């Protein structure tokens, strides 16, 4: 189904690998055949100017998996601790000095919830963007999340955030790091630049001063995996004059402890 044996590895400014042929060709075609149609995509949640996505925190995601066998197979292949460990082994030079990155309880259904919990979670995200952080509010938010996700913040848990995504004209990202708690993240491109036309959409590796260190062109069947530490700044150049939608997958293996990188003092 997938290839983790042939890749290019880079260590600066943070560890990342690029795989040119991530899926075998038959499975890639099956994934593309089952990719959401345009009329479905425009009903997905909108973010970052012109990106639509269906996330695994949304009950509709699991309905989609039930109807699309190859997406179901792929999601269940990677939504495992063993896959996380395989990628981490590729990214890290010294496993012995990074034991804390391996010592997680993995929850493969952490994000799965019913419509009531989904809407409460969505509302909570919206208000957190508008209310300044205070000790009381942080305590309230933590307790609410514990109820929604049914976990203990101290149990050192890990889960997968997974999005089926499409983006078109106007989509871009300024230099940023992924959300607190993310250990490693990845992108899988399912569309060639020439198929949608236009320019932009490159995945840019930035240093801590936001200088561009490497520009990775979106290409069908290319995957990028990176360690999402405190140096992992990255961005996306603006998509301009595209005639269609770029199809891709985003994933992030995330700790329930949002201060996880501060606890990992011996990262090498």
Last residue of a domain, one of 134, 150, 166: 150
124 shares its domain with 168: no
Question: SS3 of 152, please?
Answer: coil
pLDDT at res. 29: 97
In a domain, 2, yes or no: no
102 shares its domain with 195: yes
pLDDT at res. 203: 97
pTM across the whole model = 0.87
Determine the structural domain holding residue 39 and report its residue range.
8-110+157-263
In a domain, 1, yes or no: no
- Per the structure, the count of domains in the chain is 2
Compute the 3-state secondary structure of the chain and give helix, strand, coil in percent, each to the nearest 5: 30, 25, 40
Task: Provide φ and ψ at 262, rounded to 5°.
Answer: -70, -25
Burial 117-153 (b: 16+ CB within 10 A, else e): bbeebeeeeeeeeeeeeeeeeeeebeeebeebbebee
22 shares its domain with 35: yes
146 shares its domain with 198: no
List pLDDT tens digits, range 207-242: 999 999 999 999 999 999 999 999 999 999 999 999
In a domain, 228, yes or no: yes
171 shares its domain with 246: yes
Q: How far is CA 112 from CA 59, 85, 232, in A?
A: 7, 22, 28
32 shares its domain with 90: yes
pLDDT at res. 129: 54
Residues in the chain predicted with pLDDT less than 50, given as ranges, are none
In a domain, 184, yes or no: yes
141 shares its domain with 214: no
The two three-digit tokens of residue 170, written as one number: 């106007």
The two three-digit tokens of residue 151, written as one number: 């976990």
CATH for 215: 2.60.120.620
In a domain, 48, yes or no: yes
59 shares its domain with 161: yes
228 shares its domain with 255: yes
pLDDT at res. 118: 63
pLDDT at res. 177: 95
105-106 vs 157-167, strand pairing mode? parallel
Dihedral sign for Cα 96, 98, 103, 107, please. negative
Give the span between the Cα atoms of 54 and 163, in whole angstroms.
Answer: 5
pLDDT at res. 246: 92
101 shares its domain with 125: no
DSSP conformation class of 199? B
The two three-digit tokens of residue 2, written as one number: 């997938």
The two three-digit tokens of residue 89, written as one number: 């082994």
In a domain, 63, yes or no: yes
In a domain, 37, yes or no: yes
In a domain, 102, yes or no: yes
84 shares its domain with 134: no
Q: Which of 115, 113, 114, 246 is nearest to 168 (CA)?
A: 246
51 shares its domain with 70: yes
């Amino acid at each position: 189904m997938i290839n983790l044996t042939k890749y290019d590895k880079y260590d600066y400014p943070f560890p990342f690998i690029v795989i040119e042929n991530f899926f075998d060709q038959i499975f890639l075609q099956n994934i593309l055949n089952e990719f959401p149609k345009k009329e479905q995509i425009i009903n997905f949640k909108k973010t970052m100017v012109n990106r639509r996505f269906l996330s695994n925190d949304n009950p509709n995601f699991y309905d989609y998996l039930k109807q699309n066998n190859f997406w179901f197979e792929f999601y269940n292949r990677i939504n495992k601790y063993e896959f996380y460990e395989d990628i981490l082994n590729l990214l890290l030079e010294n496993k012995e000095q990074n034991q804390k990155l391996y010592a997680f309880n993995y929850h493969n259904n952490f994000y799965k919830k019913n419509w009531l919990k989904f809407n409460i979670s969505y509302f909570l995200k919206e208000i957190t963007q508008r209310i300044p952080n205070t000790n009381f509010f942080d305590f309230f938010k933590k307790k609410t999340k514990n109820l929604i996700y049914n976990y203990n913040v101290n149990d050192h848990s890990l889960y997968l955030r997974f999005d089926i995504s499409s983006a078109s004209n106007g989509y871009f990202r300024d230099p940023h790091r992924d959300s607190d708690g993310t250990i490693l993240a990845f992108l899988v491109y399912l569309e060639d630049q020439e198929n949608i036309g236009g320019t932009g959409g490159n995945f840019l590796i930035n240093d801590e001063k936001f200088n561009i260190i490497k520009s990775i062109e979106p290409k069908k069947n290319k995957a990028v995996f990176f360690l999402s530490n405190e140096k992992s700044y990255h961005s996306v150049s603006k998509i301009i004059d595209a005639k269609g939608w770029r199809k891709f997958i985003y994933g992030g293996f995330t700790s329930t402890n949002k201060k996880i990188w501060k606890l990992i003092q011996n990262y090498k």
